[in-house]
Structure 1
Amino acid sequence: MAEIVVQNICKEFGDFTAVQSSSFRIEDGEFFMLLGPSGCGKTTTLRMIAGLELPTSGAIYIDGEEVGQKPASQRDIAFVFQMFALYPHMNVRNNISYPLISQRMPRAQVREKVAEVARILGIESILDRPVGGLSGGDRQRVALGRAIVRNPKCFLMDEPLGALDAEFREHMSEELKKLHDRMGATTVYVTHDQLEAMQMGDKIVVMNHGIIEQFGRPQDIYDKPATRFVAEFIGSPPMNFLKFHGSLEIDATNVTLHHQTMTVPALREPFDGDMIYGVRPEHIRLSDTSGYRGEIIATEYLGTTQIVTLKTPNGDVKARIAAEQSARVGETVGLEFNGATVTLFDSQSGRAILSALNEGVLSHG
């Protein structure tokens, strides 16, 4: 397997810039997620790593070798597509063995490798079946088998579970993670599903409009978002955003929301202007003793918890509370925020004031 290093790659299609000066490092054996909404540049980035697109500028290293301008056939990678890309006229066995046969590997060795991959993926019973009659999950396993059998330096996957229904998708994401852990394979995985990225990834790059918004471990990205976009994109429901104006000094630990003092982590630099107080729904508590009040305008029961929407002087917020806790529409209640978990954002730029200097957060200049 291999380390992948991407340095300042840019991809332009005429006047349109799909990827802007992006850099990151994928460690050997990592499960690495490229996450973002449709059109953010994540698939274009993956295709440049694969050699299916050549970068306009920048460099790509796989296992220490600069491959940015080399075609896919010279990069020793395996690509798994969303729509499986299987050969419909071949059975499962022939689909998996085709890459090895193309390399003129001895047939005895081909049979041995196909049997080993089928055992790993649990598809031994369908090796002689045509791929056309298989379920989506089985076809995806066959596509994975065809990639695994070559033992490449790295695996690149473009939303490989996107065509599956929700239940099968969850099952296959667990299977993919187990497979990765067993093989220790360097894997780059594109998805627009933030839950999938958080569950499966060792590291995540969050992209938006061709720019890397943040790069880091899932927990760091969730707890310390670098931008308002990341805070809103990661989490369900997303982070709450309360607008206010203030002047804060270095090491300030309090802000004022509608005449109420709220605690925040100590600031590392002074700030004056319009800010956004960001807090996750699970870090809000309904409290009779709090002077910061909100009116309950909606409740959503989720089994073990409920989501309560409240109207406050600084904007609507959603709180995740216990299912058995009383919360009636029209009721006015006090709100307490866990100050240690708060992120302050610059209202104009959307950049985090508190977390912008944390490890894993990239500066865009």
Structure 2
Amino acid sequence: MAEIVIKNLRKEFGDFTAVQSSSFKIEDGEFFMLLGPSGCGKTTTLRMIAGLELPTSGEIYIDKEEVGQKPARQRDIAFVFQMFALYPHMNVRRNISYPLISQGMSTRQVKDKVAEVSRILGIEDILDRPVSGLSGGDRQRVALGRAIVREPKAFMMDEPLGALDAEFREHMAEELRALHDRMGATTVYVTHDQLEAMQMGDKIVVMNHGVIEQFGTPQDIYDKPATMFVADFIGSPSMNFLRFHGEVHAGSSNVRLHHVDLAVPTVREPFQGDLVYGIRPEHISLRDEGDNRGEIVAAEYLGTTQIVTVKTSGGNLKARIASDQPAKPGETVALEFNGTTATLFDNQSGRALRSDLNEGILSHV
């Protein structure tokens, strides 16, 4: 397989810039996620890596070879689309074997490779069926089979599970990750679903308006968001934000917010102005006594946990608490924050201030 390196990649469509100076590295054998909302530039980035779009500027290295201006056929890349892109007039066996036949492989080699791939994907019993009559999940397996049978340097996947229903999508995500682990393939995967990205990815690039907001492991991106966009986009419910005007000094470990002192990870840079205190719902506890008080306005039962919405002087906050903890709308409660997990943001730029929590993560952003 192959390492993929992107340097200052840019793509313009007339006056519109779809991707702005993106740089990142995909390790050999990594399952790499390009994540973001519609129109953020993730699919355009994937298509440039695959050679389906040529960059306006920048460099693309696959297996240490610069391929930025080479067509797709010279990059040894396999592409899996959301809508399967199968040949409807062929059966499963012919769809999978077609790339090998096009390469001039012998009948014996083609037969052996198709048998191996169909065994890996569990589709041996449908090889002679027409693809037009298959379920969405089976068609996706066939599309994957046609991609992996060539043993390319890397796989490009553009929301391949997007057309499946929610329950089967989760099942296929597990299968796809297990297949990746067995093959050790370099995979670049586009999705707008943050749960899918967190579940499957070794590394994630979060994009917004053509710009990389953050690059890192799923845990780093969730625990240590580099921007308010990432903090809001990742997580369900997303991070709570409390806005205030204040001043923090280098070495500070608390802030004064709405007449209440709140702990924060030790701040590494001084700042004065409009700030945002960010805290995940699971890091808020409800207590009977305390200074930071609010009124419960809603409680959403989720089985093992519940999401409680509390109205405070700084706005509504969501807390994730145990499902058996009493929480009734109309009750007044005190909120306790786990300040060691909080993130301070510059409200104007949206970027996180450097602290003990995110010092290393923000050093390369």
Normalised to the residue count of structure 1, the TM-score between the two structures is: 0.98
Q: Which amino acid aligns with 1:359?
A: I
Structure 1 residues 257 and 174: CA distance shift in structure 2, 3 A = same
Q: Is the 8 A contact 1:215 1:361 kept in 2?
A: no
Q: Which amino acid aligns with 2:45?
A: T
Report the Cα distance in structure 2 between the residues aligned to 1:362 and 1:83, rounded to whole angstroms: 36
Q: Is the 8 A contact 2:354 2:362 kept in 1?
A: no
Q: How does 1:172-183 map to 2 (within 5 A)?
A: 172-183=172-183
Report the Cα distance in structure 1 between the residues aligned to 2:184 and 2:226, rounded to whole angstroms: 30
Q: Is the 8 A contact 2:226 2:361 kept in 1?
A: no
Q: Give CA deviations for 1:204-260 in whole Å, capped at 9, x if unaligned.
A: 000000000000000000000000000000000000000111111101001012111
Alpha-carbon RMSD: 0.9
Report the Cα distance in structure 1 between the residues aligned to 2:274 and 2:316, rounded to whole angstroms: 18
SS of aligned partner of 2:177: helix
SS of aligned partner of 2:318: strand
Report the Cα distance in structure 2 between the residues aligned to 1:290 and 1:78, rounded to whole angstroms: 58
Query: In the alignment, what sits opposite 2:64?
Result: 64
Q: Is the 8 A contact 1:243 1:315 kept in 2?
A: no
Report the Cα distance in structure 1 between the residues aligned to 2:195 and 2:304, rounded to whole angstroms: 19
Q: How does 1:113-124 map to 2 (within 5 A)?
A: 113-124=113-124
2:153 equivalent to 1:192: no
Q: Is the 8 A contact 2:206 2:212 kept in 1?
A: yes
Q: Is the 8 A contact 1:35 1:197 kept in 2?
A: yes
Query: In the alignment, what sits opposite 1:143?
Result: 143
Report the Cα distance in structure 2 between the residues aligned to 1:42 and 1:111, rounded to whole angstroms: 36
Query: How far did 1:303 drift?
Result: 1.0
Q: Which runs of 5+ in 2 are unaligned?
A: none
Query: In the alignment, what sits opposite 1:289?
Result: 289
Q: Is the 8 A contact 2:289 2:333 kept in 1?
A: no
Q: Which amino acid aligns with 2:12?
A: E
Report the Cα distance in structure 2 between the residues aligned to 1:325 and 1:263, rounded to whole angstroms: 25
Report the Cα distance in structure 1 between the residues aligned to 2:30 and 2:331, rounded to whole angstroms: 49
Q: Is the 8 A contact 2:80 2:144 kept in 1?
A: yes
Q: Is the 8 A contact 2:59 2:67 kept in 1?
A: yes
Query: How far did 1:362 drift?
Result: 4.6
Query: In the alignment, what sits opposite 2:36?
Result: 36
Q: Is the 8 A contact 1:194 1:234 kept in 2?
A: yes
Report the Cα distance in structure 2 between the residues aligned to 1:84 and 1:281, rounded to whole angstroms: 38
Q: Give CA deviations for 1:181-217 in whole Å, capped at 9, x if unaligned.
A: 0000000000000000000000000000000000000
Query: In the alignment, what sits opposite 1:8?
Result: 8
2:331 equivalent to 1:321: no
Which runs of 4 or more aligned residues in structure 1 lie more than 4 Å from their structure 2 counterparts after TM superposition?
none
Q: Which runs of 5+ in 1 are unaligned?
A: none
Q: Which moved more, 1:292-301 or 1:350-359?
A: 350-359
Report the Cα distance in structure 2 between the residues aligned to 1:307 and 1:172, rounded to whole angstroms: 28
Q: How does 1:144-183 map to 2 (within 5 A)?
A: 144-183=144-183
Structure 1 residues 182 and 11: CA distance shift in structure 2, 3 A = same
Q: Percent identity?
A: 78
Normalised to the residue count of structure 2, the TM-score between the two structures is: 0.98
- Equivalent pairs, count: 363
Q: Give CA deviations for 1:3-46 in whole Å, capped at 9, x if unaligned.
A: 00000000000000000000000000000000000000000000
Q: Is the 8 A contact 1:117 1:145 kept in 2?
A: yes
Report the Cα distance in structure 2 between the residues aligned to 1:331 and 1:154, rounded to whole angstroms: 55
